[in-house]
Structure 1
Amino acid sequence: MSTYLVKRLTYILVILLAASFLIFSLYALTPGDYVSSNIKLSPERKAELRELYGLDKPMLDRYVIWIKNALQGDFGYSLAQQKPVLTLFNEYIWNSFLLAAVSTFLTWLIAVVIGVISAYKQYSWFDTVVMLIIFAAMSIPSFFIGLYLIKMFAVDLKWLPPGGMTTTGSNATGLAYAKEVIQHMALPVVVMTLLGIGSLTRYIRSNMIDVIKQDYIRTARAKGLTERKVLFTHALRNALLPAITLVGFELPGLFGGSLIIEKIFNWPGIGQLYMSSFSLRDYPLLMSFTVFIAILTVLGTLLSDLLYRLADPRVKLD
């Protein structure tokens, strides 16, 4: 196991180095930047700022400087926000994590339960209705679902707030603050859960259909075990083994999978900050966030491999 981890970590470092150079090159070669596109600055001030922030240097020199600073925990300075990138991450990224973590938990919980029941009752009216709802949810764009829920629950019924994380001007603390946050995150969590539940339910349903046809499932039933124990103890454990590979994609999705949703609901997360940085051409922030997603991606694949080994001792990691 230790040899495997050393090999994987070495590969991860090489991959991240190559990915960081590619990401830096793409942003560096993109025409324009925050300084040159800012019409409020005079040509002299633009030239001064470009020299101050090293934007007038060759691309390779800029990359070497950036990677050295990044290894020391300095990911650059956001010219648009006038703050260090790491400070902005600390301010916004936990809001995104809260939103995505809750929706991910609900997505897996609901998908597992519905997928198991749908596989057990294959071709029944329940299975048919579930498949129709899943395909409908997967075919409707996220922005349409979000705007429709805002109109229904926030504008028409006035049950929930239309956006934001807290009420404007609110000074609530403690339980009152937690209640406000829960109310404001209800709609975006519902939308993100609906978007993720479709493909995951189909995946679990397909795996369960294959598993419940195996001989050991018939043996478990022959021993007199209850159907619930057979399905959720014996069958589900083996059906979830292929789904463990999806965990690796969930980790970067916790921060990068809600860009549009955060924009629609005005949620103060890293996704909305990332989207607004595009129009401002704030490349230090854009580049750092993209590298951050790349780091989470490679770590997520490593985590899924380790979890697969823990779930199935027959798997050897060499």
Structure 2
Amino acid sequence: MRTYLLRRCLYMIMILLGASMLIFFLYSLTPGDYVDNNMNLSEQRKAELREIHGLDRPIIERYINWMANIFKGDFGYSLAQQRSVIDLFQDYIWNSFLLAVVATFFTWFFAVVIGVLTAYKQYSLFDTLVMIGIFAAMSIPSFFIGLFLIKVFAVDLKLLPPGGMITTGSRAVGWEYIKDVLHHMLLPVAVMVMLGVGSLTRYFRSNMLDVIKQDYVRTARAKGLKERSVLFRHALKNAMLPAITLVGFELPGLFGGSIIIEKIFNWPGIGQLYMQSFTVRDYPLLMGFTMFIAILTVIGTLISDILYHTSDPRVRL
């Protein structure tokens, strides 16, 4: 295990080095930046800002300085927000993390339960109706579902707030603050679950169909075990193994935010900040955030490989 981790860490460093070069040169060689596109600045002020932030230096030197700062935990300085990228992460990324964690939990919960039941009742009316609903939810754009739910539950029925994270002007603390946040989370979480549960349900359904045909499942039934115990204790455990691969992609998704959902519901997350940075071409923030997601991706991949070995001793690292 120690040798494997050491080798994987070396691979991760090489991958991140390649990713950092691609990210930096892609943004740096793109015509225009925040200074060029700010019409309120004079040419003299633009030249001063370029010198202050090192934008007038050779691109190789800028890349080396950028990487050296990343190793120190400094992902750059946002020109549009006039704050360091790390400070902006601390203010926005946890809001996206909260939204994503809740949505991911319910997505996996519903996907596992529905996937097991549809596999057990294959070709039944329940299976047919569920698959029709899944394909319908997957085919409708996220912005349409979000706007439709806002129209129904916020505008017509007035049961839920149309957006935001807390009530405007609210000074609630403690439990009242938590209830206010949960109240505002219902609609965006519902949209994210509807969009994510479809493909995941099909994934678990396919795995369960393969597993329930195995000999050990028939043996468990022959022993007189209850069907619920056979499905959820024996079959599901092995059907979950291929899903470990998805864990590696969930980690960056938890911190990456959902750009469209956060924009529709005005949720103050990193996704909306990322979109705003694109509009003003705030490349330091874009580069820092993209590099952060790349780091989370390789870490998530390593975690999924280790979980494979932990869950199934037959898998050699």
**TM superposition score normalised by structure 1:** 0.99
Over 3 Å counting, the alpha-carbon distance change for 1:85 and 1:257 in structure 2 is closer
Instruction: Output aligned runs, 1:54-133, within 5 Å.
Output: 54-133=54-133
- In structure 2, what is the Cα distance between the partners aligned to 1:58 and 1:138? 47
Whichever residue aligns with residue 24 of structure 1, its letter is: F
1:265 aligns with 2:265: yes
Cross-structure match for 1:145: 145
- In structure 2, what is the Cα distance between the partners aligned to 1:111 and 1:44? 58
Identity %: 73
Q: CA deviation at 1:74?
A: 1.3
Cross-structure match for 1:53: 53
Q: Which segments of 5 or more consecutive residues in structure 2 lack a partner in the other structure?
A: none
Question: Is the Cα contact below 8 Å between 1:34 and 1:282 reproduced in 2?
Answer: yes
1:238 aligns with 2:238: yes
Q: CA deviation at 1:208?
A: 0.3
- In structure 2, what is the Cα distance between the partners aligned to 1:58 and 1:279? 25
Cross-structure match for 1:218: 218
1:301 aligns with 2:301: yes
- In structure 2, what is the Cα distance between the partners aligned to 1:74 and 1:315? 38
Question: Is the Cα contact below 8 Å between 2:85 and 2:288 reproduced in 1?
Answer: yes
Tell me whether 11-20 or 253-262 shows the greater mean CA deviation. Answer: 253-262
Question: Is the Cα contact below 8 Å between 2:97 and 2:257 reproduced in 1?
Answer: no
Cross-structure match for 2:19: 19
CA RMSD, Structure 1 to Structure 2 (Å): 0.7
C-alpha distance after superposition, 1:210-238 (max 9, x if no partner): 11011111111000000000000000000
Whichever residue aligns with residue 264 of structure 1, its letter is: I
Question: Is the Cα contact below 8 Å between 1:96 and 1:271 reproduced in 2?
Answer: yes
Question: Is the Cα contact below 8 Å between 1:262 and 1:268 reproduced in 2?
Answer: yes
C-alpha distance after superposition, 1:2-56 (max 9, x if no partner): 1100000110011101101110000000110101110000011001111111111
- In structure 1, what is the Cα distance between the partners aligned to 2:143 and 2:268? 17
SS of 1:40's equivalent in the other structure is coil
Cross-structure match for 1:171: 171
Question: Is the Cα contact below 8 Å between 1:309 and 1:316 reproduced in 2?
Answer: yes
Aligned length: 317
- In structure 2, what is the Cα distance between the partners aligned to 1:140 and 1:257? 20
Question: Is the Cα contact below 8 Å between 2:93 and 2:257 reproduced in 1?
Answer: no
- In structure 2, what is the Cα distance between the partners aligned to 1:224 and 1:230? 10
Whichever residue aligns with residue 224 of structure 1, its letter is: G
- Runs of 4+ off more than 3 Å: none
- In structure 1, what is the Cα distance between the partners aligned to 2:77 and 2:289? 13
- In structure 2, what is the Cα distance between the partners aligned to 1:4 and 1:197? 34
Cross-structure match for 2:280: 280
Cross-structure match for 1:186: 186
Question: Is the Cα contact below 8 Å between 1:255 and 1:271 reproduced in 2?
Answer: no
Q: CA deviation at 1:99?
A: 0.1
1:289 aligns with 2:289: yes
